[in-house]
């Protein structure tokens, strides 16, 4: 008799059948290596795994880098010039000369009002007939009228504020004989001096990619094992539950780290996002984030044992919260207080903040430390629940 047969006989239940729940309690590195090798070969042979791990991240990063933009440039507005005075024409030329606005000139506001209604323009500025008189008057009164399309509040605020800024800059330029102010304010922007939304969106997109690979891919793969009945066969072997879970997840952990490196290379060399921190910090953050991501996927698969249901739960509990509640697109401080409290349970909240810091600011460990601790704590919780659920499934 070989060693494996003796071990199985030793752990046999009184009825003569092996009790997998009481298999060898000793952690065996050889068994773990065999499980990892088996899972790695299965992942390599599965086209959907390669598609999700390497093709989907590239598509998502290109979409977030080029299709999704929070930058407001070349906003289409109309400039209605009702006055023929030189000052009015000079102001109209100031509107046309800015790169943030794309101006449609008009002589009557009725020419542009319909275009605002149809969505072709986001608003219009009216330089009234008595503009010269208002300019010469000492009374405080508006020089122009600004009308914006309120169906898009952010763009409407930008048009209104920027139009006022153009008027103020133009008026300041005309006051050549007035002595300059004693204090001159010059704005400075830290970490993203060009104010390009891409430099904040691409690091956040990496967090979304890692969520897909960690949570959705793990949930689908392990649920497929339960669905086909092969998971019960694996659990009936002398391998312990810990060995089986580590063996299932370690290949996808490695896939996640490789996807991180590929995504970081795209961000730096293709999308021109600076990496001001170290590669070690980036890999450390990614490795710790994969703990809750993989743990959540494992827990979902243990609860559902069905690929379709696992994909739906992973979508609603993993991807959507990471997309909407992580601060990736929407500021957490602008959310209602109850929703802000919920965001503390989302691992991607801490990962997005850390990624934006390591890319744009550098290695700020005072920021990384609490985020790493929070992600690790959430990950341990997921793994403990998943292990208990897996053992319960085995014993039942």
Q: Which residue has better confidence, 177 or 94?
A: 94
**Predicted local confidence at residue 171, as pLDDT:** 82
Q: How confident is the model at residue 15 (pLDDT cuts 50, 70, 90)?
A: very low
Q: Which residue has the tokens 């006989």?
A: 9
How buried is residue 366: exposed, middle or buried, by Cβ count under 10 Å (0-12/13-18/19+)?
A: exposed
Task: Tell me: pLDDT of 82 over 60.
Answer: yes
123 token code pair: 């608003």
Alpha-carbon gap, residue 116 to 245, rounded angstroms: 59
**Predicted local confidence at residue 25, as pLDDT:** 53
Please, what is the average pLDDT of the chain?
83
Strands (E), the chain: 75-81, 101-106, 123-127, 145-148
Residue whose C-alpha is closest to residue 236's, from 22, 9, 16:
22
Q: What are 270-322's pLDDT values in tens digits?
A: 988 999 999 999 999 999 999 999 999 888 988 887 888 888 898 898 889 99
**Separation of CA 336 from chain center:** 20
Task: Tell me: pLDDT of 18 over 60.
Answer: no
387 token code pair: 């292990």
Q: What are 50-73's pLDDT values in tens digits?
A: 787 788 888 888 888 887 766 667
CATH code for the part of the protein at 75-171: 3.40.1710.10
**Predicted local confidence at residue 226, as pLDDT:** 78
Give the full edge-to-edge strand order of the sheet including 101-106: 101-106, 75-81, 123-127, 145-148
**Predicted local confidence at residue 134, as pLDDT:** 85
**Predicted local confidence at residue 23, as pLDDT:** 44
The ranges assigned to domains in the chain are 25-67+195-395, 75-171
243 contact partners, CB below 8 Å, separation of at least 6:
27, 28, 31, 32, 35
Task: Tell me: pLDDT of 195 over 80.
Answer: no
**From residue 128, how far is each of 83, 85, 91, 158 by CA, in Å?**
6, 10, 12, 22
Task: Tell me: pLDDT of 121 over 80.
Answer: yes
Q: What are 143-186's pLDDT values in tens digits?
A: 899 999 888 887 888 888 888 888 888 887 766 555 555 676 77
231 token code pair: 């998971």
**Predicted local confidence at residue 5, as pLDDT:** 37
pTM confidence score: 0.75
Highest mean pLDDT among 172-176, 363-367, 387-391: 363-367
Contact 326, 349 (CB under 8 A): yes
Q: In this structure, what DSSP letter does residue 227 have?
A: H
66 token code pair: 């080029």
Q: How confident is the model at residue 352 (pLDDT cuts 50, 70, 90)?
A: very high
Q: Which helix (H) or strand (E) holds 172?
A: helix 153-174
**Predicted local confidence at residue 330, as pLDDT:** 86
Alpha-carbon gap, residue 351 to 168, rounded angstroms: 41
Residue whose C-alpha is closest to residue 258's, from 281, 290, 225:
290
């Amino acid at each position: 008799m070989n060693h494996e047969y003796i071990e199985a006989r030793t752990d046999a239940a009184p009825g003569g059948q092996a009790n997998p729940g009481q298999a060898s309690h000793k952690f065996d590195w050889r068994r773990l290596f065999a499980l990892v090798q088996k899972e790695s070969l299965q992942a390599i042979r599965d086209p959907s795994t390669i598609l999700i791990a390497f093709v989907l991240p590239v598509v998502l990063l290109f979409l977030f880098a080029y299709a999704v933009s929070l930058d407001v440039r070349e906003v289409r507005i109309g400039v209605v010039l009702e006055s023929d005075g030189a000052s009015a024409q000079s102001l109209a030329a100031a509107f046309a000369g800015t790169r943030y606005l794309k101006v449609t000139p008009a002589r009557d506001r009725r020419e542009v009002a319909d275009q605002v209604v149809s969505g072709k323009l986001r608003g219009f500025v009216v330089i009234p007939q008595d503009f010269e008189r208002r300019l010469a008057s000492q009374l405080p009164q508006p020089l122009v009228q600004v009308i914006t399309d309120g169906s898009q509040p952010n763009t409407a605020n930008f048009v209104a504020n920027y139009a006022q800024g153009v008027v103020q800059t133009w008026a300041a330029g005309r006051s050549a004989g007035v002595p300059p102010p004693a204090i001159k304010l010059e704005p400075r922007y830290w970490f993203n001096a060009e104010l390009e939304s891409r430099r904040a969106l691409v690091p956040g997109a990496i967090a979304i990619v890692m969520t897909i690979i960690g949570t959705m891919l793990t949930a689908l793969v392990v649920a497929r094992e339960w669905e086909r009945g092969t998971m019960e066969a694996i659990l009936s072997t002398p391998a312990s539950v810990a060995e089986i879970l580590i063996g299932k997840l370690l290949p996808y952990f490695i896939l996640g780290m490789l996807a991180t490196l590929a995504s970081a290379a795209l961000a730096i060399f293709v999308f021109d996002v600076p990496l001001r921190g170290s590669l070690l910090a980036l890999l450390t953050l990614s490795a710790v984030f994969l703990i809750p991501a993989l743990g959540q996927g494992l827990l979902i698969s243990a609860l559902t044992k069905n690929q379709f249901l696992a994909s739906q739960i992973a979508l609603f509990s993993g991807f959507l919260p990471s997309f909407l509640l992580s601060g990736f697109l929407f500021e957490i401080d602008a959310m209602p207080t109850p929703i802000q409290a919920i965001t503390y349970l989302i691992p991607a909240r801490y990962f997005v903040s850390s990624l934006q810091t390591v890319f744009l600011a550098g290695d700020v460990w005072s920021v990384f430390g609490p985020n790493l601790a929070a992600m690790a704590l959430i990950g341990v919780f997921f793994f403990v629940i998943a292990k208990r659920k897996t053992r319960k499934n085995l014993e039942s």
